[in-house]
Structure 1
């Protein structure tokens, strides 16, 4: 919890301002704990979130550590790691790079000389700006997972489609997949093949993913075996959910930790790519795909 730029801060979970006194935080915790406790009909997930918020703010030392280091231990440190990383697998493009640049530019316009990755600045940023950072982090985490799969896989990140971007394309022994990395700041379920939840706001990421995959397929003259919506582990109830076909492409939602298994084993029912076709598909993609 609290690791996503879109998730509520522990202060927000308890319903207090960051300037609240320790006594105000204690009273707020007790009230929220009573209200969300499952024994009185409360929501178990909310109750757990309240307990986690109290762990971070319940003592003066813990609160000082959170206020001082929340951003440093996640967003700022991960930005430095991203800059210094060297991917080992064959890949093209920079996952999340253009979103990070846009986030930093937009936040810098109002944050001045402040660290745009500090906890305070991230939490103060408007939703659309926090969403840029959340998506950038999600794409980077997906790219790191793909990189660990070895030389049998080739990945393209940040495929430029003009007005749109396809997050990832992955080619491996089990097929050609289009991927999108999402973070809605909380759990989702599915209705009509699209995720719904408090942070989805009527978005249609599955339809967007399939539409972008078809654009790449036309440009490179290739066929995708499947499309995968990748979500944070805490936001998906199962490791993988097959959502069915959309415009002739099989779609699945997958936890990020289960992505390597999904790509190695293939999505059940997805079209495989074998033999000389792998080389041909790789050549066509290399010639047609532009990355940001």
Structure 2
């Protein structure tokens, strides 16, 4: 169980309501221990999740802290990856370091949807004193919490790219005829279409597509990203170097999981994204002239969500 807003709460793991009695919690915990124990052919990952859930709400004091939001979580009200100016910026306190060119509003659409749905869920559009209150967020349905997790993931990617310097340009929340691209990133190693994802669970690659308990049924993250990237390429008359799905470090077992044989798609741990953007997946490099040409085409073609 991670601290991502998208992760199942201890109550969801144990399959009980948040209002369940302590006795009901204990019965659910013991039943799931028997069902998931590896010695009885259970799932070790689920067994571990059940134990973590019990550690968080198994006694009255721990449960009180969890319910009040005083245990650690991934909830965040910050929006450091908000809309950036269309000129290079100097990093505060970093001397002469200049950040990457940044356009668009990373995570903005997901945060807007989160706020709308939180208000509807909490009281028919009522104004909330603090929609990011940890106890309130934890009690919200998981589909609402996923929106906050998406926003945080997109903002994290924007911050990481910003630190790469003036040689890079990032466009966030890009609209295409085949869906939205979280980020389009241009640098010396090529042009990348990037999806920033956090499903609050482990994921794995099966037949070229990501699967996991947190991925909603019917979603195809890898194929959806590829379709939107191809659409942008046709509209802007540019060639994408690679598509990248960026996930939390603990969500996938391999640091970089390549898809197919063309070195043009991969699942990447979040901490390794700067390295991949610097080095590329297959040793590709763009000349300065190529970078200027691609940037110009994109500037005239990109539309934001």
- Give the TM-score normalised by structure 2: 0.82
1:1-292 map, 5 Å: 1-69=1-69, 73-75=73-75, 78-82=76-80, 88=91, 89=99, 90-111=101-122, 112-114=126-128, 115-119=130-134, 121-123=136-138, 125-126=140-141, 128-161=143-176, 164-200=179-215, 201-244=217-260, 250-268=264-282, 271-292=284-305
Deviation at 1:273, TM superposition (A): 1.6
Distance 2:53 2:102 in 1: 39
| Other structure's SS at 2:260 match | strand
Distance 1:217 1:147 in 2: 23
Gaps of 5+ in 1: none
Deviation at 1:152, TM superposition (A): 2.7
CA RMSD of aligned residues (A): 2.9
Give the stretch that moved more between structures: 215-224 or 83-92. 83-92
Distance 2:143 2:9 in 1: 17
Distance 2:190 2:115 in 1: 36
Deviation at 1:202, TM superposition (A): 2.2
Give the stretch that moved more between structures: 96-105 or 83-92. 83-92
Deviation at 1:169, TM superposition (A): 0.8
Deviation at 1:177, TM superposition (A): 0.6
| Other structure's SS at 2:264 match | strand
Distance 1:42 1:227 in 2: 36
Give the stretch that moved more between structures: 93-102 or 181-190. 181-190
Distance 2:196 2:70 in 1: 23
Give the stretch that moved more between structures: 54-63 or 232-241. 54-63
| Other structure's SS at 2:148 match | helix
Q: Deviations over 1:133-162 (max 9, x none)?
A: 332222122222222323332211111236
Distance 1:72 1:42 in 2: 29
